[in-house]
Structure 1
Amino acid sequence: MKREQASAKRDLRKDNLTADLVVAGGGLSGVCAAITAARQGIKVLLVQDRPVLGGNSSSEVRLWILGATSHMGNNNRWAREGGVIDEILVENTYRNPEGNPLILDMILLDKVTQEKNIQLLLNTAVFEVDKDGDQIKSISAFCSQNSTLYQLEAPLFCDATGDGIVGFLAGAAFRMGAESKEEFDEGMAPTAEYGELLGHSLYFYSKDTGRPVKFTPPNFALSDITEIPRFKQFNANEFGCKLWWVEYGGRLDTVHDTEKIKWELWKVVYGIWNHIKNSGDFPEAENLTLEWVGTIPGKRESRRFEGDYILSQKDLIEQRSHDDAVAFGGWSIDLHPADGVYSERPGCNQWHGKGIFEIPYRTLYSKNISNLFIAGRIISVSHVAFGATRVMATCAYIGQSIGMAAVLCKNEGLLPKEVLTNGHIKQLQQKLSLNGQYIPGVNIEDELDLITKSEISVSSTLSFKGFDRCDLWKNLTTASAQLFPMVKGELPVFNIAVNVLKPTTLKASLRISKKNGGFTPDKVLSSKEIEIQAGEQNISLDFGVNLPEAKYVFIVFGANEDVQLGFTEERVTGILSVFNSINKAVSNFGKQTPPAEAGVDEFEFWCPQRRPQGQNLVISLATPQPVFEKSNLVNGIDRPVSQPNAWVADPKDLSPTLNFEWEETKKIKQIDLWFDADFDHPMESVLMGHPETVMPFCVRKYVVKDEAGEIVFKKEDNYQTHQRIILAEEINTKKLTIEVEHPSELVPAAIFAVRCYAEIKL
């Protein structure tokens, strides 16, 4: 038994901790920063003021994770973010295809606690900063669960807290609210009537119990929900983050008024449920109960901190290139009226760019606190640009950049800005790329990679001739297109399977994107109108076009109710069909037609369909295209961009094999393999659900052998993009062989890259 005598005053227990990097904030940006840094060998303290990780994606808020893919509702093909956030999303899709937010909590905690270099402090809130000149010396934080006061000391700090509590207390320059249109020449800068801040949202889940359920509302519930202008949007079948537009607080201080905002959202939510259950207008809700209501709101906007560059609207819309790019985004510029659910205006004002945009390193550190990184939604952007950079997968990508930058700072004795000024940006870009973080325009150049010095041979290569197997017919009710990679030179004749219901004219065109690596078919190279008779038939299209460089082309067919197109279940890495369809969830109405003053582009949307739909069109090529060659394994790009960038085996090859040979014996300790976990699928983390747990293009089984044919490693259940093999014992060999299996009869094996090293290279 412990007894203490009465005392006039007692102090809290104090614990002083040190690390190489302190990351404040356990949302996805902080998690990805911490994991990235820890895997490179530096000590990280991750401090989170909530009981779980994930921020707005956690079970406390339950917002789906999205980024540049935008529900597959934009023209950003193969744009899901890579690296750690890709690993997390792929893992979640494998373990949690139903989108259970509790399972995502578990996965995030599991990922962090597996890293021996991370010390995690949950339920621990930062409240004080100690400085020495323009540097943070330590931060103080309090854990409510163990009544412990922590002092966290490190040479480097990362603020990923969402509201920027570390930067705020340290005196870092920040902004809050919208800039004028004139400051950055931004056509989307909001008026005072629209409001300068996005509000908070709070969700609820319902559940069918199989029997009638009564509901008695609390006294604080809104008594007449019909007073809300968006009242007619409510229904009994939508729940969770599909109610993103239940928003409030943009006219208030979104930091200090958060509790007030939460209470107003509770009033709205319980008022909504009372109306659904008790108005008599929703008989389908009789057996529904209120399963969960959020206890903390999901925040969208508060402070934004100033770096050495402020990203603005034109950077995004014009897709400006930055020499110090370390990440990309691609969500629409998505601004909301400050009055939220009480506004007469639509819930959002979304305008898309034609492609992904670059995020420069200069936006990721404080301009006046020299050892402070800024991560997540608080980076150095204008209010308008913030409308696109604020989404979680983009924030996670930013966190990875900071985690790797912190490693360089530690290893080279640098402050954050000095990564740029001392000429280490290319080194940072290469480190990120080698760990799966695609950066537009950056190709991997790795002198230590033994594969680049080997003689490569393969058992087969897919000679791409398009598709000639017809599995089903679909009516051409929507303008449709097939996206094919083509090499430089004269395009082949395309042969298309059609079923014509009655004589008609088929309109077809060949289009490309004006921007190399883009996927907006905004340049028509050739058009055809073909008179066709009734019946099943193949028609030939010779567009007579000579491509000056290798790129994707769109073979486009105008909508025609009298025509059916043939589709195949065969799928190949880097090949897609796309449709000029509508996705209202992301303000895609087939064509974007903005007002002239908005400063954004007018263009058509051409988007894929989700599996099990999204089959390829039956279009064969008169001349095969050599787009899946073994040279792709060492071209330094590990996803489709202007070409597929993958080696693909011939489907008839019963044992696809890659051989890497050297004239002299090589010591090998580490092997990195990069597979296709489908960067075009957004993998929403909650609510949506997914038809498959493993992407159909991903190689599941493979074996690695030495020159004697001895197996040095094998895997039978792979589903991840990246496999990093650290051999228990190094091997000495003149030859490395990798045998893979086709994922299925309909999908041939594909590999983006193989890299190997004499020493461990993380």
Structure 2
Amino acid sequence: MIIREEHTVQTRSNRLLTLQADLVITGGGIAGCCAAITAARAGTKVVLVQDRPVLGGNASSEIRLWILGATSHLGNNNRWSREGGVIDEILIENLYRNKEGNPLILDTILLEKVLQESNITLLLNTVVYEVHKSSERSISSIRAFCSQNSTEYVLQAPFFCDASGDGIVSFLAGAAFRMGAESKEEFGEPLAPDNDYGELLGHSLYFYSKVAPQPVKFVAPAYALKDIKQLPRYKLLSPGVDGCRLWWIEYGGRRDTIYDTEQIKWELWRIVYGVWDYIKNSGNFEDVDHLTLEWVGAIPGKRESRRFEGHYMLTQQDVVNQQPFEDAVAFGGWALDLHPADGVYSHLPGCNQWHTKGVYQIPYRSFISRDIDNLFFAGRIISVSHVAFGSSRVMATCGLGAQAAGMAAALCVQHGMLPRQLMEKPCLHRLQQALSRAGQSIPGIPISRDENDPMRTALITTSSTLPLDEIPFDGPWMPLEEGAGQLLPFRKGTCYQFTIKVKAAQATTLHASLKVSGKPFNYTPDVTLETLAIPVQPGEQLLTLSFTAPLPETQYGFLLLTANPALQVQGSQWRYSGIVSVFNGKNKAVSNEGRQMAPEGSGVDSFEFWCPRRRPEGYNISMTVTPALEPYAPASLVNGFTRPYLGANAWVADPADQRPWVQLQWKAPQKLRALTLHFDTDFDHPLESSLMGHPEDVIPFCVRHYRIYDEHGTLIHEREDNYQTINHIVWDKPVKTSTLRIEIAHPAAFVPAGLFEIQCA
């Protein structure tokens, strides 16, 4: 059938569709996705508007930056700090399907996660360009246009969340914002940059290369950079370095990072093709004849533009001092990471990363506009100073905070409230608990249980419990070329004795120390309780380390062995939840040189880094411990913590137990609709989403197979091949029973079965 229209003297209009929802989210990066999924699962009707053909923003195949946050490439002292909830679910799914780190696969995972939520309407390739307000302080609708289907949309909702990166909705709505750096005087931030360093972080654009079966020539385009020496760090270039490892190819910090983005992109293209011309044609590199470009980014990854003002602005001091907030809803842990505004053309280091001694809380007030009553912020536009932004801007942190915004919006919809009303104590508690139950793991805020919670009255018994009196002597020898240690959960007032096995090349002395963190919830060994010097004879031998200093608090502590090239210490094949070895090594990717030496007056701390090694390395140190640590009591299953914090917070079965089980028993039958199990997917593992790759597709601590039986021994649920952190089981009909038995198989040959938390409803 032909469609034909006669000439008209009037202009035509595109198709116009009006969509109504409870919440409209602009921006489909990691933050927008996490906010949308969180809100949708809480029963909220969401429209998610994304101006690109794929989801993921800087993590997508269009830009290809890996997702990172508080774990910082395993290069800081933030133990078990990977962000939880939806962002963890996405990263674990990506590990299972895509441990090699192909960003195209991550695209499919993000699209699948969003499309699986029936409460989400997804609009791709759709650009928001107009905001309408019903009053000075309230948005009524936004308008958007999709170039692919020539359709204009009017999106109406009582609540809006801006996760767009540049804050297009917040800007058009008139919300207060900042762009650039505050002075040192405004917030008293010593790290606030001066004009020479510059006030904005620039954009980056990456490329991938591959080896072709035949030689490939490269003729640079006319616009390519001709003189590679214009880049002060050009000597860092090599044929094997590509993708986001070239994060320092950065430009635009001296320009308007919103309105000048196209010009910034052209300069980055000029640089990238000049870099490739240098690699291929300079003659300074061998074995490049078969190298060819596989991909060059077409849009740059943005770091910084607008930051919007909420009811609180996070500052450097909040981050460094780990300021506690009554309205904490998320956490961060990436370094205060600021870059010179001249980027790749700067003679200064490509970044200045200043780490903190632990993770810090982010308050709810930083996610809501002080000017627009129905507007949430998510992603890098939240209410923080330029210096604090250096940490909060990274994608996993953005995703975690966005989950708080999404959950808050859902509660506002359910209870007919405005975002600022959630700052009131009873409402705030409801928000924090909803997040905690979804795996947010807000530092210091455990899951609490109301009087109707079945777990309050459940009698918990287990088939066995592992008493940690020994880490078996069955693993490889580990040279003490750098300091090594074991991080263990200790009890207050207890004095400990350890026996380890060493191998000495010559007569020498082993120097050992027992250390803790000054803040009990941290993992930075900045307080020395006692040091020992033990003579060692040549050959293999057992050494007993007897410490007389009692532990000041119930907290994690460090048994540390000083570097000694003449010594090796025996490791163990066994791995346990909440137990990890640490090493005083270096990780230059995150400015870790073994110790952070803070300049005088910088407002940051000096301290040592003691970090785990990535699997398959990272063996625990073999030892006996007297008295036994006993960190795995069944009571951990209901203490509200879903990861290590002050203690292991997990129940772990004895490895000799052939059929481990946990049993919940009530005096009267319960009607149970749902059961939620929190497993161990090693919250220490960073799970970078692209490029790096990982040695495994399932975290070895994670329980793969379990069965659930009722009081009659009837199997009411079975899960095989589990790999996710949180398993939420919902029965079609309520299960009426006075007993639940959860049989859990050991996940691996040298990893006993463990479980962090059980929730019933």
- Which category describes the TM-score, using the shorter chain as reference length? over 0.9
- C-alpha distance in 1, partners of 2:449/2:6? 66
Amino acid at match of 1:617: I
Q: 2:581 aligned with 1:580, yes or no?
A: no
- CA contact under 8 A between 1:22 and 1:153: conserved in structure 2? yes
Alignment correspondent of 1:232: 235
Q: Answer yes or no: is 1:624 the counterpart of 2:628.
A: yes
**The residue matched to 1:560 in structure 2 has which SS?**
coil
Within the alignment, does 1:302 sit opposite 2:290 as a pair?
no
**Residue equivalent to 2:525:** 521
Q: Are 2:392 and 1:389 aligned?
A: yes
- Other-structure match for 2:674: 670
Residue 493 of structure 1: CA displacement?
Answer: 1.1
The equivalent position to 1:697 in structure 2, one of 690, 696, 701, is 701
Separation (CA, whole Å) in 1 of partners of 2:749 and 2:285 = 47
Shift of 1:744: 1.3
Q: Which residue pairs with 2:19 in the alignment? A: 17
- Measured on the aligned residues, the alpha-carbon RMSD in Å equals 0.8
Deviation at 1:443, TM superposition (A): 1.3
Contact 1:276 1:282 in 2 (8 A): yes
Pairs within 5 Å for 1:142-541: 142-421=145-424, 423-447=426-450, 448-541=452-545
Q: In structure 1, what is the Cα distance between the partners aligned to 2:738 and 2:95?
A: 39
Which SS does the other structure have where 1:272 is aligned? helix
Which of 739, 742, 758 is equivalent to 1:738? 742
In the aligned structure 2, how far is the partner of 1:622 from the partner of 1:437? Answer: 35
Distance 2:508 2:474 in 1: 22
- CA deviations over 1:687-712 (Å, ceiling 9, x no partner): 01000000010000000000000000
Q: How does 1:639-718 map to 2 (within 5 A)?
A: 639-718=643-722
Counterpart Cα distance in 2 of 1:164 and 1:456: 49
Give the distance between the partners of 2:629 and 2:76, measured in 1 at CA: 27
Measure, in 2, the Cα distance between the counterparts of 1:609 and 1:449: 40
User: Percent same amino acid among aligned pairs?
Assistant: 57
| 8 Å contact from structure 1 (residues 333, 385) kept in 2 | yes
Structure 2 residue aligned with 1:612: 616
Q: CA deviation at 1:235?
A: 1.0
What SS does the aligned partner of 2:644 have?
Answer: coil
Farther off after superposition, 398-407 or 208-217: 208-217
Query: For residues 745 and 272 of structure 1, what CA distance do their matches in structure 2 show?
Result: 48
Helix, strand or coil for the counterpart of 1:680?
A: coil
> Does the 8 Å contact 2:253/2:343 carry over to 1?
yes
Kindly state the Cα deviation for residue 82 of structure 1 after the two structures are TM-superposed. Answer: 0.2
1:126, 1:667 → 2: CA distance?
Answer: 47
1:284 Cα shift? 2.0
Counterpart of 1:79 in structure 2 is 81
Out of 630, 637, 641, the residue aligned to residue 633 of structure 1 is 637
| 2-structure distance, mates of 1:530, 1:610 | 30
Distance (whole Å) between structure 2 residues aligned to residue 441 and residue 568 of structure 1: 32
Contact in 1 for aligned 2:475/2:619 (Cα 8 Å): no
- For residue 409 of structure 1, give the secondary structure of its aligned residue in structure 2: helix
CA distance in 2: counterparts of 1:490 and 1:238, whole angstroms = 50
Q: Confirm or deny that 1:550 pairs with 2:554.
A: yes
- More divergent stretch after superposition (253-262 vs 408-417): 408-417
* C-alpha distance in 2 between matches for 1:550 and 1:286: 60
In the TM superposition, residue 547 of structure 1 has moved relative to its aligned partner by 1.9
2:550 partner letter: N
TM-score, normalising length from structure 1? 0.99
1:4 is matched with which residue? 5
Q: Residue type of the partner of 1:31?
A: C
The letter for the 2-side match of 1:245 is W
Q: Secondary structure at the match of 2:566?
A: strand
Q: Tell me how far apart the structure 2 counterparts of residues 742 and 281 of structure 1 sit (CA, whole Å).
A: 53
The alignment of Structure 1 onto Structure 2 pairs a total of residues equal to: 757
Q: CA deviation at 1:472?
A: 1.2
Query: What is the letter of the counterpart of residue 587 of structure 1?
Result: S
Question: Matches of 2:620 and 2:611 in 1, distance apart?
Answer: 13
Question: Aligned partners of 1:182, 1:210: CA distance in 2, in Å?
Answer: 59
Distance in 1, matches of 2:700 and 2:573, equals 11
Instruction: Please tell me whether the aligned partners of residues 487 and 627 of structure 1 are also in contact (alpha carbons under 8 angstroms).
Output: no
TM-score, with length taken from structure 2: 0.99
**Unaligned residue ranges in structure 1 (runs of 5+):** 758-762
Residue 601 of structure 1: aligned partner: 605
User: In structure 2, the residue corresponding to 1:712 is in which secondary structure?
Assistant: strand
The CA deviation string for residues 506-561 of structure 1, in whole angstroms up to 9 with x for no partner, is 10000001111100000000000111111211111111122243111100111111
Aligned-partner SS, 1:406: helix
| Structure 1 residue 342: Cα displacement | 0.5
Mapped contact 2:472–2:574 kept (Cα < 8 A): no
Secondary structure in 2 matching 1:598: coil
Q: Which residue of 2 aligns with 1:123?
A: 125
Are the equivalent residues in 2 in contact too, given 1:333–1:384 (CA < 8 A)?
yes
CA contact (8 A) 2:585 2:609 kept: yes
| Contact 1:702/1:739, CA 8 A, preserved across alignment | yes
Q: How far 1:422 sits from its partner (Å)?
A: 6.7
Amino acid across the alignment from 1:503: A
2:40 to 25, 32, 38: 38
Higher mean C-alpha deviation, range 273-282 or range 225-234? 225-234
4+ long deviations beyond 4 Å: none
Moved more, 549-558 or 154-163: 549-558
Q: Deviations over 1:400-444 (max 9, x none)?
A: 000000011011111111111474111100000000001011011
Mapped contact 2:485–2:559 kept (Cα < 8 A): yes
- For residues 735 and 416 of structure 2, the distance between their equivalents in structure 1, rounded to whole angstroms, comes to 34
2:549 counterpart letter in structure 1: V
- Kindly state the Cα deviation for residue 385 of structure 1 after the two structures are TM-superposed: 0.3
SS in 2 for 1:625: coil
Letter in 2 for 1:4: E
- Residue 60 of structure 2: aligned partner: 58
Task: Give the 3-state SS of the residue equivalent to 1:518 in structure 2.
Answer: coil
SS of 2:565's equivalent?
strand
Residue range with higher mean Cα deviation, 134-143 or 460-469: 460-469
